[in-house]
Structure 1
Amino acid sequence: MKQIMRITILALILISNIGFSQKKVTELKFDTKYFNAVDKWVAFPKKDKDSTYVYGFIYLDNQAGFTFNYETKFQIKEQELINIKRDSIVGLMKYRLEPNTSLVSVLTENQISALNLPKEPEWLSIYKERSDQVDYLKKEGYHFNHVGASDLALEPLLKAYEIDPHFDGLEFELSYAYNHLGQYEKAIPILEKAIENNPENYYFYRELGFSYVNLNKIDEAEKTYRKGIKMSDNDFEKSEMAVNMAQAYFKLKNKKKFDEWAELTRKYAKENSQYVQYIDHFELNWNKK
């Protein structure tokens, strides 16, 4: 009798585990940003009235940016993923992913297996041929910086920096990533070496001034921004440097210095631009705590 009960309980456990496993296979979690799903199979949310999910592979095209390679669609029926055969007249379809792209569900190993997919597509190797070279790594970092994912930009940028620190555009991307992440102390030595190598690049002064401002090194920031403004031929960049200094003096309640940098902001910024609106806001709220 005890033996029969043991077998019955074991059978129940097996049935329970099978049900749990099926649930796992069909469970989709749309909680991942596309730039966190590079080199992964993903599914996109379906529309309310739709019964199918679009899926495919996200990769980084070093020239064009983050790209979704459409595979086909699947349905979920009776706890199974059912592939929907793609129309034979439909060729390879690729979509460049924009900042407003919806969250995706990264497919699990079980889901990839259920859909009879390889770990990664064969064609992916084409986009990885030069992935250990400086220009590739710098561009990879640029794409991550461009979408605000500077934490992901650091790895390729640091690899490139070890190979050729003065490669065109690399020092800017690396210092930008550090500044974006609030790691200002790490950005400063990168920029100091960059300026020593190329003192005519005003972008280096813009980033270095930003580092100093956020470390409350106001004198250093002001000297740096003045140099950057002097050599820049770009009014927008000049206005950005100026408004950063104006904001710093607004926080310090140094009216004389604020007025000086507010005037420079208005000089270089377009009328009714966001930076001019910032200056107006600072002036209206000067006496408020």
Structure 2
Amino acid sequence: MKNLILSATFILLLSPFVKAATSADTLKFDQRFSRCEKKWVVLNKADTAKSYMYGYIYIDEIAGFTFDLKGHFTIDRSGKYIGDTSSMKYNTIKYRISPNWNNVAILPPSHFKELNIKKEPDWVKIYYTYKDTVAHNYRLGWVYNDINDSEMALDYLLPAYQQNPNFKGLEFEISFAYNALKRYDEAIKFLEGVHKARPDDILTYRELGYAYLEKGEPAKAIPYYKDGIEKCNDKQLANKAEMAINLAKCYERLNNKEEAKTWGTKAKQWAPEGSTIQKLIVQSGY
């Protein structure tokens, strides 16, 4: 497994393709990569390019979504795919997929034989066949949340929660997914239960406050944010600052400018230097 996915020599970062396909073939570049796990796909090409790149998408539990490049192919006048894997004869090249990848096309199974590929590569069966464990489902849910596909994340996280609701980090990933999908009522119902069971969990305060704020009930968000801020320690300044700036937003929506300014100023003071939350606070005008 390490030889396949952790070799620094061949792990590259692929920039998203920009040009739209104009070929007369039937390839449709309408699939987000996150919906193509364990599938053969084709990458779009520039109009001037003669061939398409194709490969296999899978999830590595450490690296996330990965594209394993198989080679290139051209399409002749009869519609036959003419493959070329000569550049891959001695190399294994894997591209770590960034969230802003453009859509891909599913490689039609009718062309598998022409390209000499199986539905599932042999190395996938060896290194990427998992038992349906809580840890595996949690990790895949985390990966889907990380690339902003929380709908798919819940398909893994909720079954894992049914098996072991006490698995570390699982409750946060579920609440994060609900909030990302704007399913605030479900987030609140879920998090209220978590809060009763684990009243010292800082992330529960943060996500509960966010759910109420975005649902349009800032007054209900305020006590959660204040309690959460009070419980933060010196190693949780980013969370403290995030709750403070959202607390400022709560007061803004309640037309309390004085309290909004107070909490916005505190958020700026607590935000770690150079952090993402510091930049967001500055963008908010504090």
TM-score norm. by structure 1 comes to 0.81
Question: Distance between the aligned counterparts of 2:258 and 2:44, measured in 1?
Answer: 55
| Residue 263 of structure 1: aligned partner | 265
| Residue 212 of structure 2: aligned partner | 212
| Residue 116 of structure 1: aligned partner | 116
**Contact 1:26/1:111 (8 A) holds in 2:** no
The verdict on how the C-alpha distance between 1:87 and 1:258 changes in structure 2, with shifts beyond 3 A counting, is closer
Counterpart AA for 2:283: Q
| Structure 1 runs of 4+ with >6 Å offset | none
Render the CA deviation track for 1:177-212: whole Å, top value 9, x for unaligned.
Answer: 000001111112322333333333211111111111
Question: Distance between the aligned counterparts of 2:127 and 2:197, measured in 1?
Answer: 32
Counterpart AA for 2:153: A
Identity of matched residues, %: 36
| Residue 287 of structure 1: aligned partner | none
Gaps of 5+ in 2: 1-22
Question: Distance between the aligned counterparts of 1:81 and 1:74, measured in 2?
Answer: 6
**Other structure's SS at 1:73 match:** strand
| Residue 283 of structure 2: aligned partner | 277
Counterpart AA for 2:285: I
**Contact 2:179/2:187 (8 A) holds in 1:** yes
Counterpart AA for 2:209: G
| Residue 181 of structure 1: aligned partner | 181
Gaps of 5+ in 1: 1-23, 281-289
**Contact 1:30/1:45 (8 A) holds in 2:** yes
Render the CA deviation track for 1:148-191: whole Å, top value 9, x for unaligned.
Answer: 10011011001101001120000000000000001111112322
**Contact 2:71/2:88 (8 A) holds in 1:** no
Render the CA deviation track for 1:34-65: whole Å, top value 9, x for unaligned.
Answer: 11211110011224432111101001112210
Higher mean Cα deviation, 199-208 or 269-278?
Answer: 269-278
User: Does the alignment pair 1:247 with 2:249?
Assistant: yes
Render the CA deviation track for 1:6-60: whole Å, top value 9, x for unaligned.
Answer: xxxxxxxxxxxxxxxxxx9942222222112111100112244321111010011
| Residue 167 of structure 1: aligned partner | 167
Bigger Rg, which one: 1
**Contact 2:69/2:93 (8 A) holds in 1:** yes
**Other structure's SS at 2:199 match:** coil
| Residue 100 of structure 1: aligned partner | 100
Render the CA deviation track for 1:215-255: whole Å, top value 9, x for unaligned.
Answer: 23333311111121122232222121111121222223122
Higher mean Cα deviation, 234-243 or 135-144?
Answer: 234-243
**Other structure's SS at 1:279 match:** coil
CA RMSD of aligned residues (A): 2.2
Question: Distance between the aligned counterparts of 1:230 and 1:127, measured in 2?
Answer: 46
Higher mean Cα deviation, 102-111 or 261-270?
Answer: 261-270
Question: Distance between the aligned counterparts of 1:171 and 1:238, measured in 2?
Answer: 20
Render the CA deviation track for 1:86-138: whole Å, top value 9, x for unaligned.
Answer: 24642322221112323211112223344332222122224543341011101
Aligned length: 257
**1:73-92 alignment, distance < 5 Å:** 73-78=72-77, 79-87=79-87, 89-92=89-92
**Other structure's SS at 1:176 match:** helix
TM-score norm. by structure 2 comes to 0.82
Question: Distance between the aligned counterparts of 1:250 and 1:270, measured in 2?
Answer: 24
Q: Which has the higher helix share?
A: 1
